[in-house]
Structure 1
Amino acid sequence: MTQQHYDAIVLGSGPGGEGTAMKLAKGGRSVAMIERHQKVGGGCTHWGTIPSKALRHNVRRLMEYNSSALFREAGEPRHLGFPTLLNHAAQVIDQQVGLRSRFYLRNDVPVLRGEARFIDPNTIELIMPDGEHTQITAQHFVLATGSRPYRPSDVDFSHPRICDSDQILGIDHTPRNIIIYGAGVIGSEYASIFRGLGVKVDLINTRDRMLAFLDDEISDALSYHLREHGVLIRHREEYTKIEADNESVTLELASGKRIRADLLLWANGRTGNTDALNLAAIDLQADGRGQVKVNEHFQTAQPHIYAIGDVIGYPSLASAAYDQGRYAATHILEGTCDYRLAHDVPTGIYTIPEISSVGRTEQELTEAKVPYEVGHAFFKDLARAQISGQTVGMLKLLFHTETLELLGIHCFGDQAAEIVHIGQAIMAQPAPGNTLRYFMNTTFNYPTMAEGYRVAALNGYNRVS
């Protein structure tokens, strides 16, 4: 048995682990990356963000082609199968893996493959693919092991007609109809993808409304447009039994409904990947969702062991995890960490149409008794949206009634996740540069979607002037 020592060991090569390792390496520390899978990139690259967004992008293009009167003159509507889209997503994944592999090579960060478990607070045991065991010690550890789909014990995920959001990327056919259990971000995105392929979709929501963390107006708009596309949404439902045979899968609900389909996608919750780390050996404990608690510096109860990304819970975003990794690395290097930078991160939801927001919602401002007003720009009124044919959606600005300070940016429609960054940049400016006046007094290229900020700012200002 060999033994190695590093200044820091990072467990998990997703966005959080990558951000940590690169920052530490550039800071002159010796760093090792532990990855249990064959290729780097983590769940984000292989099962989550990258493949689902690649699928969604091409489905949206297909929908645009088939709905355009102009393209109808060029030929008949086109159809693509789910496996065809998966092949394209695999190409994107390979490009991402190649890019990220070069990061580790250039920065002299060895990627050690295998399953890691703690022996004591400064030692892990690595079980490599060939079965060999080795012990590695370090001064600091960063847990960036990500999460996986939650699997209830009474659901048979070994059956070919039942899958979770990881397994869905391995199916070899396009189902005629699908039940999606769970109307969170993942369930909503896959509802858009499959409906865009012409698949009949039953979306089962266990709550009163979809994506309740969103601004109410945006959540309502998503529900409306999913239904308009043909998704059947069932709110306030809970399953009692799932049965599958060679022909179909049947979902029994507590309300008495029985729904049959070719395939069931379970998209209801995720679990942090901490169960195999032997946290008991270092006096740490994960909660029922596999998550560990950290302080404002991302330190666990063991100050030299940090945790970031999905294993600490909210906001569970790849973008936030990357920043958290860099901040944790900064704290290791310098003993300080500006956690405030990680608070106001934008949310991107890649449904069709997509959603993005940053800052507070109307509900939050109302509860906090903050006097605010609203400015809207509807995409149907913007020349660029009319040219592109993407007229569904809106940009919504929330601002303080008296100071005009921007309090929230909410966007629904094509390119929402890009559009929101303009508002994010202005919100982050010190007063008085973070007000509605910036958009009112700035010249935007015309025609652009960015022009919506001027339209929304004037619309809101007219309410208070």
Structure 2
Amino acid sequence: MSDRVVIVGGGPGGYEAAHVAAQLGAEVTVVDTDGLGGSAVLTDCVPSKTLIATAELMTEMSEAAELGIGFRDLEGDPATSVSVDLARVNERVLALAADQSADIARRLERDGVRVVIGRGRLAAPDRVEVTLPDGGTETLEADVVLLATGAQPRVLPTAQPDGERILTWEQVYGMDEVPEHLVVVGSGVTGAEFASAYLALGIEVTLVSSRDRVLPGEDADAAEVLQQVATRRGMNVLSQSRMESVTREGDAVTVTLTDGRTVQGSHCILALGSVPNTDDLGLAEAGVQTDEGGFIRADRVSRTTARGVYAAGDCTGVLMLASVAAMQGRIAMWHALGDAVAPLDLKQVSANVFTSPEIATVGWSQQAVDEGGINAEVVTLPLSGNARAKMQGVRDGFVKLFCRPGTGIVVGGVVVGPRASELIHPVSIAVAESLTADQLAQAFTVYPSMSGSIAEAARRLHHV
């Protein structure tokens, strides 16, 4: 008899786990509430990066004059501005997200995975009770349960979104008019990405940061480059400014800071972090422990504290990335169903901040080196000296590599620049496979190419 696997949540952690479980011969049921793909596909990652793709094109157009390109109107006169139709942009964003969700549904159907629409909760470690849309219930017996319920935007009593002018990042795609002045509260990854994107779309943006710089959790050198670029392009960054409240009066939104200052805008995006979707899941009754923030405790093979119950994705609070959620889900199934499995290694996770310029990282960080967490040699190489960067008019950004002294093994890296999300891959391979800086340097790169700077940085780590 096949193992019965019940997965609560249809996001990356859930649907990727379903594919693995089906491949291993299990009888798989996915319980989904809000749409296959979860917030990553429908309201977060896919939509935001689609919006950012439009913003990237706007940035390239605004800087085209440096490459000798000009625009003219229908009468032949020089064009004076480039504008964005935000309603059309958002229409495309939502259509693409829906298409992606439909693709996931087709793939699950192809693999023989049953999808039940409803809200699932643990009735016991081996039983999931589903509340169906019509109010009825269905009980699913399981040999293995995976909880992949995700997270949602954090809001505060003093800053309540109205879905029109005070918005969470899940609500921005309902805007059909271009904001006159957008205030973004929160300078973490989400806040920085939206502030950067809307600035590129020609919108006045003020970023309210409670810390002394944007992206306090990222490489300090990278964050400094981003803040310099954003400021140069016209963003107003309010550092060390903590939000007290956000209120709306008519078409005006007022952000009040704890020191009494106020910032007025036409719209406000709240980027205050995330809270896990773990309420009313029957966790305590089933023996599944959570931490003080409500996140499910899961180990490196995705096991919870209840036998046979696993967890993956944002509901665990482990690096809130779609790629990590998907890997947690796969690992859970490999482990539960007896396949070969390697525990999750966060030092091999590559991540990217989709700002302009992008910031990509993998492995050990500069902060860990500075604080003595690891002994490593560091080389930083500005992109301004790269031939391809000069051709493309790229002045901002750098490549940074970390390697162990003695062995020369590459243990981390940072790339800041256009398409850094693509450029980080060779560094990710080096970290995952414990390659030396010499091995990374001696692999051929195309000339001219941005990736040539990665090889050059590796060459500078060579020791005779």
TM-score (structure 2 length as normaliser) = 0.93
Alignment correspondent of 1:145: 149
Rounded Cα–Cα distance in structure 2 between residues aligned with 1:436 and 1:59: 35
Question: Displacement of 1:110 after TM fit?
Answer: 0.9
Question: Displacement of 1:340 after TM fit?
Answer: 4.3
Question: Displacement of 1:458 after TM fit?
Answer: 3.1
Q: Displaced runs of 4+ in structure 1, greater than 6 A? A: none
Rounded Cα–Cα distance in structure 2 between residues aligned with 1:262 and 1:147: 28
Contact 2:362-2:413 at 8 Å conserved across structures = yes
TM-superposition CA deviations, 1:375-398 (whole Å, max 9, x none): 233222222222333342111112
Contact 2:241-2:257 at 8 Å conserved across structures = yes
Q: In percent, how many aligned pairs have the same letter?
A: 27
Q: 1:191-210 to 2 correspondence within 5 Å?
A: 191-210=195-214
Q: Does 1:48 align with 2:49?
A: no
Alignment correspondent of 1:438: 439
2:56 is aligned, of 33, 44, 60, to 60
Q: 1:24-35 to 2 correspondence within 5 Å?
A: 24-35=21-32
Task: Determine helix, strand or coil for the equivalent of 2:194.
Answer: helix
Contact 2:301-2:344 at 8 Å conserved across structures = no
Q: 1:78-117 to 2 correspondence within 5 Å?
A: 78-117=82-121
Contact 1:377-1:459 at 8 Å conserved across structures = no
Q: Which amino acid aligns with 2:368?
A: E
Contact 1:376-1:455 at 8 Å conserved across structures = no
Q: 1:84-233 to 2 correspondence within 5 Å?
A: 84-158=88-162, 160-233=164-237
Q: 1:443-458 to 2 correspondence within 5 Å?
A: 443-458=444-459
TM-superposition CA deviations, 1:425-458 (whole Å, max 9, x none): 122224xxx1111233232111222111222223
2:260 is aligned, of 256, 260, 277, to 256
Rounded Cα–Cα distance in structure 1 between residues aligned with 2:158 and 2:221: 36
Q: Give the count of matched residue pairs.
A: 455
Contact 2:4-2:143 at 8 Å conserved across structures = yes
RMSD of aligned residue pairs (Cα, Å): 2.0
1:428 is aligned, of 429, 432, 446, to 432
Contact 2:347-2:363 at 8 Å conserved across structures = no
Alignment correspondent of 1:18: 15
Gaps of 5+ in 1: none
Rounded Cα–Cα distance in structure 1 between residues aligned with 2:331 and 2:163: 42
Task: Determine helix, strand or coil for the equivalent of 1:226.
Answer: helix
Alignment correspondent of 2:69: 71
Q: 1:335 to 1:227 in 2, by over 3 A?
A: same
The worse-fitting range, judged by mean Cα deviation, of 121-130 and 179-188 is 121-130
Rounded Cα–Cα distance in structure 2 between residues aligned with 1:323 and 1:369: 26
Question: Displacement of 1:257 after TM fit?
Answer: 0.6
Contact 1:324-1:342 at 8 Å conserved across structures = no
Question: Displacement of 1:286 after TM fit?
Answer: 3.3
Q: 1:265-414 to 2 correspondence within 5 Å?
A: 265-334=269-338, 337-341=341-345, 343-368=347-372, 370-414=374-418
Contact 1:375-1:458 at 8 Å conserved across structures = no
Rounded Cα–Cα distance in structure 2 between residues aligned with 1:121 and 1:400: 44
Q: Which amino acid aligns with 1:454?
A: A
Q: 1:300 to 1:439 in 2, by over 3 A?
A: closer
Task: Determine helix, strand or coil for the equivalent of 2:424.
Answer: helix
Rounded Cα–Cα distance in structure 2 between residues aligned with 1:123 and 1:67: 58
Question: Displacement of 1:31 after TM fit?
Answer: 0.6
Gaps of 5+ in 2: 74-78
Question: Displacement of 1:131 after TM fit?
Answer: 2.2
The worse-fitting range, judged by mean Cα deviation, of 179-188 and 280-289 is 280-289
TM-superposition CA deviations, 1:190-241 (whole Å, max 9, x none): 0011111121111111223322332221121122112112111122222223
Rounded Cα–Cα distance in structure 1 between residues aligned with 2:45 and 2:112: 27
